[in-house]
C-alpha cells in the first residue's frame, strides 16, 4: 500500500506542477490588476501549437541538433506567447480600465473565444499528436514507476518557480511588480511606472502558461484547441485555493489541487468500498475548495486583509 | 452593358442552382459530420454513398430517373442534426434520407423524420434507436449489442482470459457498450473485478490506472471516445500494466496508433463494423473506383455509405410511386445483396445478418482477426 501511495504521489506532483505554473499567471495578474484573466487558459493551449510550429519550421529549414531545435522552440514560445499577452493587455484590457472591473473581464472572456476559435479555424479542431520532447522511458523509483517525462516536468516547473521567486523578490523589476500589487496608487505616486509592471506581469504569466502547455502536451501526447478550457478553470481554482494574489500561494494551490485530485481518484473508491467512483474526482476537488473558502476566505496563503484591500474588494 | 452582363450571369447562376433537381429527378438526402473532429468518418460515408449514386446514374438511374444526392453537414451536433432533419422534411422533393452517423444526433432527429413520413437508413449504432417504435427507419449496420459481444467471446474463448476491468466515460455510448461487454464476458465464464467511470473530457488516467494495476486484470475494456482511448492505453503501457486492451469502433483510426505510439499500441483489440478494403474482390474494386472518383483512398466508413445507398436505392426501385409514402412502403421488406453482404430487416428494422469485425494492432496497422 505504501508503494501505491508513493506511486500516486509522483502523479500528483507532476500534474500539480502544471496546475501551479498556470495558476501563477492568474494570481500575478489578479495581484497587480484585480482582474481575472479568463483568456489565460488559451495561452496554455497556444504554447504547444507555437512550439510545434517553430520546431517543425526549424527542422524543415535543415535544423541543428534536435536538442538545440527544441531548446530554441521552447524559448521562442515563451517569448512569443509572452508578447502576445502584453499585446492583448495593451489593446483589449487597458483601454477598458476606466470602466470598472466588469468590462475588462468580459473582454478577457471574449479574447478567450477569439484565440480558441482562431486555432480551431486555422489548424483544425481535432486532437493532434504531440511528440514528447524527452523520450518517455519508465524508471523504477521508490517502489513505483516514474517516466522521464514526469521527472522533466517536475524539474522544469520547480526551476521556473524558483526562478520567478528570485526574480520577484530580488530584482528591481520584481520590486515594481510587488509595489504595484501592494498599492497601485501609492506606487505610482512614488514614481513607479505601474503600466510597465502590468506589461511585465502580462509577459511572464502567459509565458509560464505556455511552458505549462508544452509540458502538458508532451506528458499526454496530444494537443487540441479546447485543452485550455477545463485546465484553465482547474488552475484558477488552484490559485484561489492558495490565495489569489499570492505567488507562493499559487504554487502551493497547484500542488495541493493535484494531490487532492489524484488521491481522490486513487483512494475514494477504496475507502468508500466502490460506492463513490473515480468520476467523483472533480466533485471532491471542488468540495475541498468550498471548505477552504468557508473557513479561510482569502485562501491558504492569501494576503492579510488590510484596510485598503478591503476597500478594493468591496467595489469589485 | 456591364449591368446586363451581371444580370445575365445572375440569371445563369440562379438557373444552374435550380437545374440539378429536375421535376422527375429522385432527390435523396444524406447527413453526417462533414466538418469538426469527426469529419473524417462522416465525409467517408457521404463519399461512399455518392459513389454508388454516380454509378447508378451512369447506368441510367432508377427507372430512367436521375438520382440526385444531397448531403448536409450535421457537425456531429444534435442541435444542427435536428435543423438538417427539418430542412429535408420541408423540401418535398426529398424522398429518403441516409443519416445520421452519431447515435446522439440521430435520436432527436428520428422524431422529426417520422413526423413527415421520411424513409430513413440509419448508420448510427446505439441499440435503443431501433427500439423506440419509429416505423420509418432501418439499420443495415450492426448495433452495439453485437459490438460488445464479439470481443468478449473472443477473449474468453480464444485467448482464455479470465478477469476484466471495465472503464467507461459515463456517456450513453460508453457506459452502454461496457455493460454489453460485461454481460457477455461473464456469460463466457469470465469475472469482472471492477467498473470505473471517468469524465468524458478526462486526459489524466494515471491514478485510476495505478489502482487498476492492484487488481491486475487480464483484460481492460474501455467504452469511451477519442482521444481518451489513446490516452488511456498510452498511460497504461507507461505504467507497465500489460493487460489486453479492447476498445470500440471510435478508436479504429490511424490517429489512435499515432497518439498511443506504435510500440505501445501493439496487440490492442478494436471492434469495427466493416471489413478491410482488401478483403474481397468487390471491396478491392470499390477502393479503386473510389480512388479514381475522388483521388483518395476510401475513408473508414466509405463502404458503409455505399451499402446504405444500395439499400435506399433498392427501396426506391421497388416503390410504386416515387414519393415518401411509396418508398416507405417498401423500406422494411427490402432484401439486397450489398457490398458488405446480404441485408434483410427484422420487425424492428435491424439487419438480421449484420456482421462485426475484430481488429488487432500489429506493426502500427490494424489487422483483421479471422474468425
3-state secondary structure chain B: CHHHHHHHHHHHHHHHHHCCCCCCCEEEEEEECCCCCCHHHHHHHHHHHHHHHHHHHHCCCECCECEEEEEEECCCCHHHHHHHHHHHHHCCCEEEEECCCCHHHHHHHHHHHHHCCCCEECCCCCHHHHHCCCCCEEECCCCHHHHHHHHHHHHHHHCCCCEEEEEECCCHHHHHHHHHHHHHHHHCCCEEEEEEECCCCCCCCHHHHHHHHHHCCCEEEEECCCCHHHHHHHHHHHCCCCCEEEECHHHCCHHHHHHHCHHHHCCCEEEECCCCCCCCHHHHHHHHHHHHHHCCCCCCCHHHHHHHHHHHHHHHHHCCCCCHHHHHHHHCCCCEEECCEEECECCCCEECCCCCEEEEEECCEEEECCC
Cβ atoms of residues B51 and B293 within 8 Å: yes
User: Minimal Cα distance from A264: which residue of B?
Assistant: B207
Q: Which residue of A has its CA nearest to B256?
A: A129
Instruction: Output the pLDDT for position B201.
Output: 78
Closest by Cβ to A222, choosing from B36, B238, B259: B259
Give the gap in angstroms from C-alpha A29 to the nearest C-alpha of chain B: 27
CB A278 within 8 A of CB B197: yes
State which residue of chain B sits closest to A222, comparing Cα positions. Answer: B259
CB < 8 Å to A258, chain B? none
Q: What is the pLDDT of residue A161?
A: 92
Residue-level pLDDT at A311: 45
User: A145 and B239: CB-CB below 8 Å?
Assistant: yes
Which residues 264-293 of A have a C-beta within 8 angstroms of B? 265-266, 269-270, 274, 277-279, 281-282
Give chain A's mean pLDDT.
Answer: 86
Contact status of B178 with chain A (Cβ, < 8 Å): no
Cα gap A212→A234, rounded to integer Å: 13
Q: Return the pLDDT at B10.
A: 57
Q: Which of B196, B260, B261 sits opposite A277 (nearest CB)?
A: B196
The predicted-structure confidence for A246-286, as pLDDT tens digits, reads as follows: 889 999 999 999 998 888 888 877 777 666 777 777 787 78
Selected residues 173-232 of chain A with any CB under 8 Å from a CB in chain B: 220-222, 224, 227, 230
DSSP letter at A92 equals I
CA distance A27 to A39: 13
**Could you tell me if B201 lies within 8 Å of chain A, comparing CB atoms?**
yes
Give yes or no for B64 touching A (CB within 8 A): no
The answer to whether the CB atoms of B207 and A11 lie below 8 A apart is: yes
> What residues are paired with B295 via a beta bridge?
none
A98 burial type by CB count under 10 A (0-12 exposed, 13-18 middle, 19+ buried): exposed
Which among A230, A279, A283 is the top mutation candidate for probing chain B, defined by the most B β-carbons within 10 Å of its own β-carbon?
A: A279
Please indicate if any CB of chain A lies within 8 Å of the CB of B196.
yes
Instruction: Say if residues B189 and B156 touch (Cβ distance below 8 Å).
Output: yes
- Cis amide linkage into residue B11, ω under 30° from 0: no
What was the pLDDT predicted at A258?
Answer: 92
Element housing A203 (H / E): helix A194-220
- Find the CB nearest B238 among A127, A147, A281: A147
pLDDT in tens, B135-163: 999 999 988 888 989 999 898 888 888 89
The answer to whether residues A85 and A50 touch, using CB atoms and an 8 Å cutoff, is: no
pLDDT of residue A286: 82
Burial class (CB in 10 A: 0-12, 13-18, 19+), B369: middle
Contact B231 A7 (CB under 8 A): no
Residue range A116-131, pLDDT digits in tens: 999 988 987 778 888 8
Tell me: pLDDT of A312 over 60: no
Option in A8, A129, A263 nearest B258 (CB): A129
Look at residue B122 in the predicted model and tell me its pLDDT: 93
Residue A174 burial (C-beta neighbours within 10 Å; 0-12, 13-18, 19+): middle
Q: Which domains, from first to last, does chain B contain?
A: 2-142+280-343 (3.40.50.2300), 144-272 (3.40.50.2300)
Closest partner residue to A129 among B203, B211, B259, by Cβ?
B259
Closest by Cβ to B238, choosing from A125, A129, A136: A136
Helix (H, G, I), strand (E, B) or coil at A139: strand
CA distance A274 to A263: 15
- Residue B203 has a pLDDT of 84
Burial of B363 (0-12, 13-18, 19+ CB in 10 A): exposed
Indicate the angle between helix axes B324-331 and B302-318, nearest 10 degrees: 110
CA distance B150 to B158: 11
Q: Is the pLDDT of residue B313 over 90?
A: yes
pLDDT of residue B23: 55
Residue recorded with cell 509522483: A10
Q: What is the mean pLDDT of residues A296-312?
A: 64
Q: Are the beta carbons of A127 and B214 separated by less than 8 Å?
A: no
| C-alpha–C-alpha distance, residues B85 and A58, integer Å | 48
**What does the block give as the cell for B190?**
469470465
Q: Which residue has the cell 435543423?
A: B83
* pLDDT at position A315: 40
Give the pLDDT confidence score for residue B79 in this predicted structure. Answer: 92
| Residue A274 CB neighbours (<10 A) | 12
- Smallest Cβ distance to A266: which of B195, B211, B227? B211
Q: In Å, what is the CA distance from B21 to each residue of B67, B118, B313?
A: 9, 18, 17
Say which residue, A1 or A214, is predicted with more confidence.
A214
Which chain B positions have a beta carbon within 8 Å of A265's beta carbon? 207-208, 211
Mean per-residue pLDDT for B227-254?
89
The answer to whether A127 faces chain B, any CB pair under 8 Å, is yes
Integer Cα distance of B98 and B139 in angstroms: 10
**B167 vs B183: CA distance, rounded Å:** 14
- At residue A142, the 3 state secondary structure works out as coil
Radius of gyration of chain B (CA): 22
- Mapped onto helix, strand or coil, the DSSP state of residue A124 is coil
Residue of A nearest to B259 (CA): A129
User: Is B284's pLDDT higher than 80?
Assistant: yes
Helix (H/G/I), strand (E/B), else coil: A305 = coil
Q: CB-CB: which of B39, B227, B240 is closest to A222? A: B227
Hey, is the C-beta of B36 within 8 angstroms of any chain A C-beta? yes
Q: Cβ A127–B204 below 8 Å, yes or no?
A: no
So what's the pLDDT on residue B1?
46
Q: What is the ipTM of this complex?
A: 0.77
Q: Output Rg (C-alpha) for chain A, integer angstroms.
A: 20
Other beta carbons within 10 Å of A263: 18
Touching check for A91 and chain B: CB below 8 Å?
no
Under an 8 A CB cutoff, do B255 and A11 touch?
no
When mean pLDDT is compared across A226-235, B35-44, B56-65, B86-95, the lowest value belongs to B35-44
Residue A20 above 90 pLDDT?
A: yes
CB pairs under 8 A between A and B: 85
**Which of A254 and A315 is assigned the larger pLDDT?**
A254
C-alpha cell at A256: 495541493
The alpha carbon of residue B208 is apart from the nearest alpha carbon of chain A, in Å, by 6
Interface with B, mutate which of A129, A218, A229 (most B CBs under 10 A):
A129
Query: Mean per-residue pLDDT for B78-95?
Result: 94
For position A214, what pLDDT does the model report? 94
- List the grid coordinates of A250: 499559487
Q: Among A160-174, A190-204, B29-43, which is the least confidently predicted range? A: B29-43
Hey, are the CB atoms on A266 and B207 less than 8 Å from each other? yes
Answer whether residue B101 shows pLDDT above 60.
Answer: yes
All domains of chain A in start order, with CATH: 2-112+144-307 (1.10.3470)
Confidence of residue B18 (pLDDT cuts 50, 70, 90): very low
Residues 6+ apart with CB under 8 A from B287: B277, B278, B297, B298
B50-82: string of b/e by CB count within 10 Å (b at 16+)? bbbbebbbeeebbeebbbbbbbbbbbbbbebbb
pTM score above 0.90: no
Contact B325, B116 (CB under 8 A): no
Answer whether residue B21 shows pLDDT above 70. no
Look at residue B343 in the predicted model and tell me its pLDDT: 92
Report the pLDDT value the prediction gives residue A67, as an integer from 0 to 100.
84
Residue of A nearest to B214 (CA): A4
- Mean pLDDT score of chain B: 87
CA angle B52, B78, A280 (to 5 degrees): 125
Amino acid at each position: 500500500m505504501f508503494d501505491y501511495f508513493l506511486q500516486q504521489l509522483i502523479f500528483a506532483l507532476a500534474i500539480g506542477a502544471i496546475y501551479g505554473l498556470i495558476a501563477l499567471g492568474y494570481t500575478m495578474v489578479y495581484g497587480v490588476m484585480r482582474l481575472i484573466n479568463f483568456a489565460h487558459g488559451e495561452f496554455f493551449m497556444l504554447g504547444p501549437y507555437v512550439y510545434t510550429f517553430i520546431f517543425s519550421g526549424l527542422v524543415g529549414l535543415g535544423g541543428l541538433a534536435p536538442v538545440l531545435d527544441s531548446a530554441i522552440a521552447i524559448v521562442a514560445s515563451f517569448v512569443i506567447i509572452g508578447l502576445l499577452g502584453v499585446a492583448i493587455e495593451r489593446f483589449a484590457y487597458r483601454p477598458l480600465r476606466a470602466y470598472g472591473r466588469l468590462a475588462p473581464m468580459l473582454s478577457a472572456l471574449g479574447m478567450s473565444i477569439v484565440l480558441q476559435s482562431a486555432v480551431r479555424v486555422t489548424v483544425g479542431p481535432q486532437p493532434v499528436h504531440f511528440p514528447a520532447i524527452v523520450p518517455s522511458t519508465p524508471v523504477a523509483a521508490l517502489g513505483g514507476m516514474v517516466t522521464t517525462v514526469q521527472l522533466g516536468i517536475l524539474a522544469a516547473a520547480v526551476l521556473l518557480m524558483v526562478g520567478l521567486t528570485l526574480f520577484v523578490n530580488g530584482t528591481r523589476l520584481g520590486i515594481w511588480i510587488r509595489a504595484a500589487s501592494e498599492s497601485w496608487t501609492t506606487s505610482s505616486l512614488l514614481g513607479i511606472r505601474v503600466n510597465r509592471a502590468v506589461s511585465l506581469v502580462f509577459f511572464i504569466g502567459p509565458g509560464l502558461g505556455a511552458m505549462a502547455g508544452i509540458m502538458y502536451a508532451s506528458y499526454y501526447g496530444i494537443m487540441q484547441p479546447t485543452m485550455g478550457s477545463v485546465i484553465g478553470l482547474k488552475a484558477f481554482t488552484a490559485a484561489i485555493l492558495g490565495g489569489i494574489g499570492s505567488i507562493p500561494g499559487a504554487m502551493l494551490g497547484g500542488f495541493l489541487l493535484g494531490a487532492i485530485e489524484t488521491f481522490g481518484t486513487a483512494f475514494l473508491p477504496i475507502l468508500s468500498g466502490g460506492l463513490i467512483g473515480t468520476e467523483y474526482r472533480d466533485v471532491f476537488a471542488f468540495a475541498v475548495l468550498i471548505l477552504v473558502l468557508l473557513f479561510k476566505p482569502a485562501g491558504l496563503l492569501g494576503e492579510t486583509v488590510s484596510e485598503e484591500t478591503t476597500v478594493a474588494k468591496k467595489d469589485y | 452593358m456591364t449591368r446586363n452582363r451581371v444580370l445575365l450571369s445572375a440569371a445563369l447562376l440562379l438557373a444552374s442552382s435550380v437545374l440539378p433537381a429536375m421535376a422527375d429527378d429522385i432527390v435523396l438526402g444524406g447527413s453526417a459530420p462533414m466538418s469538426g473532429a469527426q469529419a473524417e468518418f462522416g465525409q467517408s460515408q457521404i463519399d461512399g454513398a455518392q459513389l454508388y449514386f454516380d454509378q447508378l446514374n451512369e447506368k441510367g438511374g432508377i427507372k430512367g430517373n436521375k438520382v440526385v444526392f444531397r448531403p448536409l453537414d450535421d457537425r456531429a451536433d444534435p442541435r444542427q442534426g435536428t435543423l438538417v432533419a427539418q430542412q429535408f422534411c420541408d423540401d418535398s422533393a426529398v424522398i429518403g434520407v441516409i443519416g445520421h452517423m452519431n447515435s446522439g444526433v440521430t435520436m432527436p432527429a428520428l422524431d422529426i423524420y417520422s413526423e413527415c413520413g421520411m424513409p430513413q437508413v440509419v448508420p448510427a449504432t446505439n441499440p435503443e434507436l431501433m427500439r423506440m417504435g419509429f416505423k420509418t427507419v432501418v439499420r443495415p449496420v450492426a448495433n452495439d449489442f453485437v459490438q460488445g459481444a464479439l470481443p468478449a467471446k473472443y477473449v474468453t474463448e480464444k485467448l482464455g482470459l479470465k478477469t476484466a476491468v471495465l472503464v467507461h466515460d459515463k456517456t450513453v455510448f460508453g457506459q452502454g457498450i461496457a455493460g454489453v461487454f460485461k454481460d457477455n464476458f461473464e456469460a463466457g465464464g469470465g469475472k469482472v473485478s471492477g467498473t470505473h467511470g471517468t469524465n468524458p473530457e478526462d486526459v489524466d488516467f494515471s491514478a485510476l490506472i495505478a489502482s487498476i494495476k492492484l487488481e491486475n486484470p487480464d483484460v481492460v475494456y474501455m467504452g469511451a471516445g477519442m482521444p481518451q482511448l489513446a490516452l488511456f492505453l498510452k498511460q497504461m503501457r507507461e505504467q507497465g500494466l500489460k493487460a489486453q486492451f479492447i476498445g470500440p469502433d471510435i478508436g479504429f483510426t490511424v490517429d489512435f496508433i499515432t497518439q498511443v505510439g506504435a510500440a505501445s499500441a501493439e496487440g490492442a483489440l478494436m471492434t469495427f463494423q466493416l471489413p478491410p478494403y482488401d478483403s474481397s474482390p468487390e471491396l478491392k474494386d470499390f477502393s479503386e473506383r473510389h480512388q479514381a472518383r475522388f483521388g483518395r483512398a476510401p475513408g473508414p466508413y466509405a463502404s458503409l455509405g455505399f451499402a446504405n445507398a444500395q439499400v435506399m436505392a433498392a427501396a426506391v426501385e421497388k416503390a410504386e410511386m416515387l414519393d415518401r409514402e411509396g418508398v416507405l412502403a417498401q423500406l422494411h421488406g427490402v432484401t439486397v445483396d450489398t457490398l458488405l453482404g446480404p441485408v434483410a430487416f427484422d420487425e424492428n428494422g435491424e439487419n438480421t445478418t449484420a456482421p462485426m469485425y475484430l481488429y488487432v494492432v500489429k506493426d502500427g496497422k490494424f489487422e483483421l482477426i479471422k474468425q
